[in-house]
Amino acid sequence: MGDITTGHVGSSFDDLLITDGTYEEAADQAVKRVLAFQLAEVMTEQGVSKPEMARRLETSRSQLDRILDPRNDSISLKVLKKAAHAVGRSIKIELV
């Protein structure tokens, strides 16, 4: 354990998730939440309504709602890339 006077007590939250075996799942969920948020923001900036976005994606409004739902991590990368392209954007993934 660390020194409480320095504000460093124990391990980092990442370390806890790694030890718990949930780090990858948490990281995946965080990425999906960010992408859903960014996609919704771009739609708002560009004035793209949900019906218009669903039309661009050739899908239903309910499917678009699943794409935009930050808690839904079952959306494939292919679908996210298609959604990004529909608003003139792309998804950048890199190894770090």
CATH (domain of 65) = 1.10.260
Number of domains in the chain: 1
Residue 11 lies in a domain: yes
The answer as to whether 94 is a domain residue is no
The per-residue DSSP string of 2-55 comes to: --GGGT--S--HHHHHHHHT-HHHHHHHHHHHHHHHHHHHHHHHHT--HHHHHH
> CA nearest 82: which of 63, 56, 62?
56
For residue 93, being part of any structural domain is answered with no
Residue 13 lies in a domain: yes
Question: How far apart are the C-alpha atoms of 27 and 30, rounded to whole Å?
Answer: 5
Asked if residue 92 is part of any domain, the answer here is no
Per-residue model confidence (pLDDT) at position 16: 61
Indicate whether 24 belongs to any domain: yes
Show the domain range for 82.
4-86
pLDDT of residue 1: 47
pLDDT digits (tens, 9 = 90+) for 41-61: 999 999 999 999 999 999 999
